[in-house]
Structure 1
């Protein structure tokens, strides 16, 4: 998204957004194609597209955080380092 960004996480930034698409003003906010990829590959792809996003890598059983942040993406991984969720901003 050219010319648009949020401050780096933390802290959490969201303005009035409650949905991923709001954070990117209609740009890509969900990466279904990264599910099953290695975490390092997924992290690099997301951060290349949105340098202002912090990608947080967690074990698949970790609950993460329940607050919605426009400047964060959780990657939940299995024991092989593969992404098990569909990554999305939030």
Structure 2
């Protein structure tokens, strides 16, 4: 089962920001390092560039930044669990 976490922080303009749908992966997962790096890049960009939005989906960001096959592989676990229910 794929778990998700959220992250809340204040950007440079003291605006409260929330990043949702961050996948929680074990360190042995093949995409662990890539997800950690992408998350750090994404959060740094949001922190340094004040935006109108206060809530962001990390999943939507990954959909644009990852190859489609890697994205499907990462989120495949969620689809399998939904089909079992």
Q: TM-score range by the shorter chain?
A: under 0.3
TM norm structure 1: 0.23
Name the one with the larger strand percent. 2
Name the one with the larger helix percent. 2
